[in-house]
Amino acid sequence: MTVSEGHRPVHLAGSVLDRARHVCAFFHTRDEEYQVLMPFIAEGFDHGDRAFHIVDPNHRADHMERVRRAGIEPESAEASGQLTVLRWEDAYLRGGHFDQDAMLALIEEVLTAGKAQGFPLTRLVANMEWALEDRPGVEDIVEYETRLNYVLPKYDDAVT
């Protein structure tokens, strides 16, 4: 479904995302990352969308503080189910390694659950700096991203 067929527009970095909503972005600094992503995240809350974030465990507190500074109360958003924030170890690196099959299953589970819970869209924000490290399974990251491009068209959700 496109924006013109009933969904509110999804904005990211000054552009309106249409049906294809899988975006890969590279940032020079954490501040630059949040300058781009926070309007996308805040817009999702304004639209009643679900927010699902995967973050570096060392930066979770900073992430929550930046969400708070954007006018979102993270604790109440988590309690209501509108916000979920996972550490890399709870998503990409479960069991201490990257398993692309398990991660693809998690993404589908998350996107399906958002609809089942009544959210118009899920806006998934995933920080993947772990892939720059020598982690078990990291060699499968390109294949995973390719496979993800076959999964995401089944959903209207936005994945960054």
Contacts of 41 (CB under 8 A, 6+ apart): 51, 53, 67, 70, 72, 123, 125
Contacts of 64 (CB under 8 A, 6+ apart): 74, 85
pLDDT at residue 2 is higher than 60:
no
- CA 102, distance to chain mean position in Å, is 16
CATH class of 3-159: alpha beta
Q: What residue spans define the domains of the chain?
A: 3-159
pLDDT at 1: 35
Q: What DSSP element (H or E) covers 51? A: strand 50-55
pLDDT at 121: 95
Instruction: Give the whole-angstrom CA distance, residue 70 versus residue 40.
Output: 11
Predicted TM-score of the model (pTM): 0.91
Are 110 and 67 in contact, with CB atoms under 8 Å apart? no
pLDDT greater at residue 10 or residue 21: 10
pLDDT at 8: 83
Calculate mean pLDDT across residues 41-53. Answer: 97
Calculate mean pLDDT across residues 48-64. Answer: 97
Provide the CB-side half-sphere exposure for 74 (13 A, CA): 16
Mean pLDDT score of the chain: 92
Under the banding of pLDDT at 50, 70 and 90, the label for residue 6 is low
**C-alpha angle 21/22/24, rounded to 5°?**
135
Contacts of 35 (CB under 8 A, 6+ apart): none
What's the pLDDT tens digit per position in 75-94? 999 999 999 999 999 999 99
